[in-house]
Chain A
């Protein structure tokens, strides 16, 4: 799992993400984000990386977590 910067234009990506869901209500936003999740997962295509990402996403919600992920 890559945890160092790897997105060439982070602000541009973030802006595009907001733009794409700007006119959606909460339910439609959840659907959009779920579709995006699967599309991105397929770009990755490495099972161990996907499982690491799932674990990291869980951990990141917990401020007490000290889990670190080495690249």
Chain B
């Protein structure tokens, strides 16, 4: 029997436990926002709030990033997530460390039956995808939060119990130095799929468990392979079952093997068994070393309501999907970006608490859509009956010859920024706007994300195309005091002015005189043709649920 080598463990950072001031206090301090769980969703929210000047507290039971050594968990970060990271100030580190890709190929046996290149539809400064081990994303976020210095990161602070009330939440915390309690105006549960908070509150949701089994093998080898997402519906080197092949940082490949449903976890994850699988795939002459072997199954979960009194649920605490299409972590990151600006405005009293209900409506809709999409991929990958196998065989056979059938091959539909349906706040619904590169009239370069990052504390953008000079004063007057920054695109006025841009005009369907409202999360909330100042102000008030300040 051959022996197989493991790479040395990653040296992950650890942050010190510091005794919180509440430990020696008799009074229970009240904080505007307490976030529980320092995973991608919780850290993204904490970083977003830090940039908006909200002194949130982030509690995490651990003192490092990642779990169980080198297990990398999520690896694919989608464009929308990367644009959020650009705004938060960690994108450059991610791009430098990660693997940028846009091409995906699907094979049946030896034959390519489906392919896509996501770059062809992209106008963003960020690429369609970057692969990076999840702990690096968390690591970069933690360092950015520490650098910003607004949010209080508390390691080794484990929430034991909460008391949820109509007007706030009391949080009981265990630490190595003792117990304490704090009050929160809003508590955000980002504790993941096994959320103890959700469990304690006994909140209803829909759940489904799959019998499909997989085994991740993260591995380094010297065989040069294309930097593309390759999937096999039925790989000859995996007994006709599916396989995923993806490169991430540090030269580590993630190879994910579909296993028989009745497999034994201990057996399939033995190094010699995993090594045999790799040998069959890579050939006899390729040296490799393991980084991580991890068997897993998956389940679906969707919480009925993403808000319970003053408790808000983000990320896996609110929804769990199968991994096909990278819609887990990316959805959590986008939950956080949807919630951050809303919490900031409500905390500051600029917006009514009803703005938080738009978080629940928008992101639950997104989660339900992701659940439907990933369930279809899972069903294609694991047919449940001989008849379903027959249909899939037909699709794969036809796909080898006929382009139409390639669109039916479903090894995962990659994560997108979900569109939001029409609502009171969004009368026409809303789509995200890609991070377009733009230029100020003076010639200096900027991007939409940069404009949003610069916007004072929390503002949207009102992009006004070729305004008339004499229309500026009444518009300014109407928008005064509203959380929006007025910027002209073309035209000759005293407003800060961007150069006319074909991509921006096309994306917003802009006309001379039209005004387009972009929320702080880069969703286009309203378009007004021949914008009247009062109508523009009303659109802002609606989208931001602004409080009636008299």
Contacts and interface: CB of A to CB of B under 8 A. Distances in A.
Interface of A: 30-31, 34-35, 37-39, 42
B398 A30 contact: no
A38 B408 contact: yes
A31 B391 CA distance: 7
15 contacts: A30-B387, A30-B390, A31-B393, A31-B394, A31-B397, A34-B390, A34-B391, A34-B394, A35-B394, A35-B397, A35-B398, A38-B395, A39-B398, A42-B404, A42-B405
Contacts of B394: 31, 34-35, 37-38
Contacts of A30: 387, 390
Nearest to A39: B398
Main secondary structure of the interface of A (DSSP, over half): helix
Query: How many B residues are at the interface, by size bracket?
Result: 10 to 19
Interface of B: 387, 390-391, 393-395, 397-398, 402, 404-405, 408
Contacts of B405: 38, 42
Main secondary structure of the interface of B (DSSP, over half): helix
B392 to A, nearest CB: 9
Given A31-B390, A37-B394, A38-B408, 4 more contacts: A31-B397, A35-B398, A42-B402, A42-B405
Contacts, number: 24
Contacts of A34: 390-391, 393-394
A30 B392 CA distance: 12
A34 B395 CA distance: 8
Nearest 9 interchain pairs by C-beta: A34-B394, A35-B394, A42-B404, A30-B390, A34-B390, A34-B391, A35-B398, A38-B398, A38-B394
A36 to B, nearest CB: 8
Nearest to B404: A42
Contacts of A39: 398, 402
A56 to B, nearest CB: 18
A31 B397 CA distance: 9
A42 B406 CA distance: 12
A37 B405 CA distance: 11
Contacts of B402: 39, 42
Contacts of B408: 38
Most chain A CB inside 10 Å of its own CB: which residue of B391, B394, B395, B404: B394
A27 B285 CA distance: 39
A5 B115 CA distance: 39
Nearest to A36: B394
A32 to B, nearest CB: 9
A37 B404 CA distance: 13
Contacts of A35: 394, 397-398
Contacts of A31: 390, 393-394, 397
A42 B402 CA distance: 11
A49 B393 CA distance: 24
